[in-house]
Amino acid sequence: MDPAPNLESIPHPPGHMLVGNLFDLDAAHPMEGLAALARKYGPIYKLEVPGRGSRIIASSFEFVDPLCDESGFDKKVGAGLTQLAAGPAGRGLFTSETQDPNWREAHNVLLPAFQHGRYAYSGLDPQPCPGGCSGRVRFAAHLRGRASVESFTDRRSTAGDGSMRFLALIGALAIIAAIGAAIYFFGGFYNVGETADNPAIVDWALASVRGASVVAHGTETPPANLDDTETVKAGARIYATIGCVNCHGGPPDANWAKWSEGLKPVPADLKVMAKERTASQLFWAIKNGIKFTGMPSFGLAGAPDQDIWSVVAFVKKSPSVSDDEYKAWTTPP
């Protein structure tokens, strides 16, 4: 159908060769930019966007209202979509003609999500106009052969659009980061050697996580005899024989086993820990061990709770235990 000869042409900003009206678009504030052009060129104007053809921008009730009445338009199902419909995809929103009940159903499901938003219809074609061309159909005739029509009746839609794009960007970055991390770790690039230092922030984070976890988990009530000298002495003996001294040393400082100097993080100074942690927290750490460090779980290793509490009694006392006392308590009779 040819446009009727008495139709006015749609106003448009002059534009430039190749880039069309690209410089008339405001990338930072797209809707405000379009509204500013509407103030200049009127409630309906045209923009040429390179690679995307012509855009007709309608902004008054007079133009937007008929555009929102989709009964005035027919869908264009191109060759590719026609083929898709013949295959397993079947007929649906994109692949069926306007008259197809499947299309109507799919369209009605989607409509509520779009009716307050930006409304974009691709491939608009005017319907044949049975009773002469007027109103909506006249307008539709203007649009023949255009790529799409957009209206900006509702500002909420811009915000929605922007945040969707932002979310999509975050999603894409997350996928790229995950792929990068997988290549780095599974490709053997990460150095698991103790000799390779962690970035300081990783060491700091691991130590903070350890501290927070021990404090949160160490809640068991200690037995009443924790301060008894006999319990402390028994604890010293267990401490010296079960393995602690190899890593943490004993009251004669630096009597740890040489190999424990190869551990990272270095085994904690228990005289400091005795003051920093409660008996319950020490008990929990000794019983459960500490992940990502050389600290073993003595619970898993079979030590009874009672022995562990005795060790805790000794550790708590250790800042005031002399070398001689330790030697006397730990030398077998």
Give the dihedral sign, CA 11/140/58/23.
Answer: negative
Residue closer to ligand HEC (CB basis): 160 or 289: 289
Among residues 98, 127, 157, 260, the one that binds ligand HEC under rule CB under 6 A:
260
Among residues 240, 244, 313, 321, the one that binds ligand HEC under rule CB under 6 A:
244
Antiparallel, parallel or unpaired: β 53-58 and 73-74: unpaired
Could you say whether residue 250 binds ligand HEC (CB under 6 A)?
Answer: no
Site stretch for ligand HEC (CB under 6 A), options 6-14, 38-46, 150-158, 245-253: 245-253
Give min distance, CB of 239 to ligand HEC, in A. 6
Q: CB–CB of 304/228 below 8 Å? A: no
Could you say whether residue 206 binds ligand HEC (CB under 6 A)?
Answer: no
Q: Across the strands, what pairs with 55?
A: 47, 148
Among residues 43, 147, 242, 255, the one that binds ligand HEC under rule CB under 6 A:
242
Q: How many residues does the chain have?
A: 333
Residue closer to ligand HEC (CB basis): 227 or 269: 269
Could you say whether residue 311 binds ligand HEC (CB under 6 A)?
Answer: yes
Could you say whether residue 263 binds ligand HEC (CB under 6 A)?
Answer: yes
Q: CB–CB of 319/274 below 8 Å? A: yes
Compute φ and ψ for 44, nearest 5 degrees.
Answer: -140, 125
Site residues for ligand HEC, window 209-228 (CB under 6 A)?
Answer: 210, 214
Compute φ and ψ for 275, nearest 5 degrees.
Answer: -90, -35
The interaxial angle of helices 305-317 and 229-242, nearest 10 deg, is 100
**DSSP string of 104-140, one letter each residue:** HHHHHHHHHHHTTS-EEEES-EEPP-TT-S-HHHHHH
Give min distance, CB of 25 to ligand HEC, in A. 58
User: What's the DSSP call for residue 267?
Assistant: P
Comparing every residue's Cβ against ligand HEC, the nearest one is 244
Among residues 45, 103, 121, 298, the one that binds ligand HEC under rule CB under 6 A:
298
Could you say whether residue 321 binds ligand HEC (CB under 6 A)?
Answer: no
**DSSP string of 292-316, one letter each residue:** TSS---TTTTT--HHHHHHHHHHHH
Could you say whether residue 37 binds ligand HEC (CB under 6 A)?
Answer: no
Burial class (CB in 10 A: 0-12, 13-18, 19+), 33: middle
Among residues 37, 44, 85, 273, the one that binds ligand HEC under rule CB under 6 A:
273
Residues 6+ apart with CB under 8 A from 83: none
Among residues 142, 146, 248, 317, the one that binds ligand HEC under rule CB under 6 A:
248
User: Nearest 5 degrees, angle CA 140-CA 141-CA 142?
Assistant: 90
Could you say whether residue 247 binds ligand HEC (CB under 6 A)?
Answer: yes
Q: Which positions touch ligand HEC (CB under 6 A)?
A: 210, 214, 242-244, 246-248, 260, 263, 265, 267-268, 270, 273, 277, 281-282, 285-286, 290, 293-296, 298, 311, 315
